[in-house]
Amino acid sequence: DSGVTQTPKHLITATGQRVTLRCSPRSGDLSVYWYQQSLDQGLQFLIQYYNGEERAKGNILERFSAQQFPDLHSELNLSSLELGDSALYFCASSSGFSGTEAFFGQGTRLTVV
């Protein structure tokens, strides 16, 4: 158990809908990272938050947004869903210091039908 909790584990929704994925980081970790994993693209970085502030942005679509709350949990919002958004979405957390380990959650499997 990495200590990073993601909910829900599975999500099936229709095209055009909006979903929210939730991540609780390890206790004391200030940084949260979101990744998308699809079969042909590997682990793609979406966005990073550090202590409530957006720190880095990767290949995140405009239809997607995220935030980190004062209690450090984070949510990834995906809207106007398309079939191609079906993927595993992982959250990771780290202390926020250079060179420290990032711990991954078990992921949320999103299926858009």
Partner 1 sequence: QQQVKQSPQSLIVQKGGISIINCAYENTAFDYFPWYQQFPGKGPALLIAIRPDVSEKKEGRFTISFNKSAKQFSLHIMDSQPGDSATYFCAGRAGSYQLTFGKGTKLSVIP
Residue in the block written with tokens 């938050």: 49
Nearest residue (CB) to partner 1, 17 versus 51: 51
Contact with partner 1 (CB under 8 A): which of 43, 54, 63, 82? 43
Asked if 97 touches partner 1 (CB under 8 A), the answer is yes
Rounded to whole angstroms, what are the CA distances from 52 to 22, 73, 82? 15, 9, 28
The span of 11-19, 20-28, 66-74, 93-101 binding partner 1 (CB under 8 A) equals 93-101
Asked if 52 touches partner 1 (CB under 8 A), the answer is no
CA atoms within 13 A on the CB side of 45: 11
| CA-based nearest residue to 15, from 86, 88, 83 | 83
Asked if 33 touches partner 1 (CB under 8 A), the answer is yes
